[in-house]
Structure 1
Amino acid sequence: MTDRITLRGLRVRGNHGVYDFERAQGQDFLIDVDLELDLARAAASDDVADTVHYGELAERLVAITAGEPVNLIETLADRLVTACLDDARVSAATVTVHKPQAPIPHEFADVAVTLRRSRP
């Protein structure tokens, strides 16, 4: 599948982490999503009902990220990629969760986890 919908840099405040201060104070997470699906029908019809509405998808991802805390961004990424695959039109999804304020006592550019899941 070569058709894609991409959402980059969705910033959400969440309370995820293994440390108590991460859960108490919260921090920003950045989410990138790539959905693989056939967009021919949407292109022909010019109807949003024939595609994944990226605004609605963003709302679901925000609700998950701002919701119940988890220890690991691996777990968060799994919840997000599962939500992406809830739409049967999506054949595969890739989600990257960036944790730019990770508690690392050194200067760093990024910490991220990427998961890709596809339908069997």
Structure 2
Amino acid sequence: MVDELSITGVECFAHHGVFDHERRDGQVFVIDLVLGVDTRAAAASDDLADTADYGTLVDSVKAAVERDPVDLIETLAQRIADVVLLEGRVEWTRVTVHKPDAPIQATFADVQLTITRRREASAGERTGKAEGPA
């Protein structure tokens, strides 16, 4: 059994995008995370060591977003999922990357991509398959 821990609205400033001006000027990206974590041990012990340390995890995600520009939000979302799944207590993650200032010639509220990635139970490794939480 896993529970869901959500962290929403993590703002990052980075230089991702296909266009030269995106790479040069940068823009805000907003990250939402949902972590599949069994929280029963932490609830019983009231000890941070028994759960995913979301403060440290957010620091790692923010650093991953703000380094090494990529062209696509698909690549960025996968990078974030890979970082999240390095946390041993996270069984799966749902990552949403928001790009509110995407270069679109129309009035719009947001561009967002959501991916779900799961750690393989047998090997303890994550997959590249887009699987939902189970």
Output the TM-score relative to the length of structure 2.
0.87
CA-based RMSD of the aligned residues comes to: 0.8
Gaps of 5+ in 1: none
Output the TM-score relative to the length of structure 1.
0.97
**Offset at residue 9 of structure 1 (A):** 0.4
Gaps of 5+ in 2: 121-134
Q: Which runs of 4+ in 1 moved over 4 A?
A: none
What is the correspondence of 1:62-81 to structure 2 with a 5 Å cutoff?
62-81=62-81
**8 Å CA contact retained: 2:2, 2:39:** no
SS state at 1:63 partner: helix
Alignment partner, residue 101 of structure 1: 101
Q: Identity over aligned residues, as a percent?
A: 47
What is the correspondence of 1:40-79 to structure 2 with a 5 Å cutoff?
40-79=40-79
AA paired with 1:52? A
AA paired with 2:94? T
**Offset at residue 110 of structure 1 (A):** 1.1
**Offset at residue 88 of structure 1 (A):** 2.0
AA paired with 2:74? E
**Offset at residue 13 of structure 1 (A):** 0.2
